[in-house]
Amino acid sequence: MTDPLALLDREHLKSMTGNDPELAIEIIEIFQHQAEIWSRMLDPKTDPKQWADAAHTLKGSALGIGAIRLAAKCEKAEKAGRAETPPSLTAAAVLLGDVKDVLGDTLEEAAKVLYELASSGAFKAS
């Protein structure tokens, strides 16, 4: 069962990778790379469509590893950036700040899972 508050839902990751630790490692590394690229575009001073696109891409990457909380924050930012009337600069800064905060926590959790998988070659219980 997927945990809606999970930073990284290991059961979701196991399901998405067919319980293959090597594939899970590869998927997490792709997520880390995506996060590095797209997080730079989460700038409230830029065109809202630009940061909405970045939030959308991060959301998809987050869902691939079971980062449910991050995906939810990204979805909220994406919808706001694509709204007919975009949020104010202050509101956008708050939304994107929330995404970045959860992204940082998720990257830490992803690093822990990578370590677990690399050191044991298997998933650990969450």
> Which tokens belong to 23?
């594939």
- Tokens 């830490």 sit on residue: 108
Structure confidence by residue, pLDDT tens digits, 27-84: 999 999 999 999 999 999 999 999 999 999 999 999 999 999 999 999 999 999 999 9
Residue 110 domain flag: yes
Any idea what the CATH number is for the domain that residue 113 is in?
1.20.120.160
Structural domain contains residue 113? yes
pTM score, whole prediction: 0.89
Q: Check whether 4 has a pLDDT greater than 90.
A: no
pLDDT of residue 122: 72
How far is the C-alpha of 44 from the C-alpha of 27, rounded, in Å?
28
Percent of the chain clearing pLDDT 70 (strictly above): 93
Return the percent helix, strand and coil in the chain, to nearest 5. Answer: 70, 0, 30
Number of domains in the chain: 1
CB 117 within 8 A of CB 123: yes
Domain extent, residue 56, equals 10-118
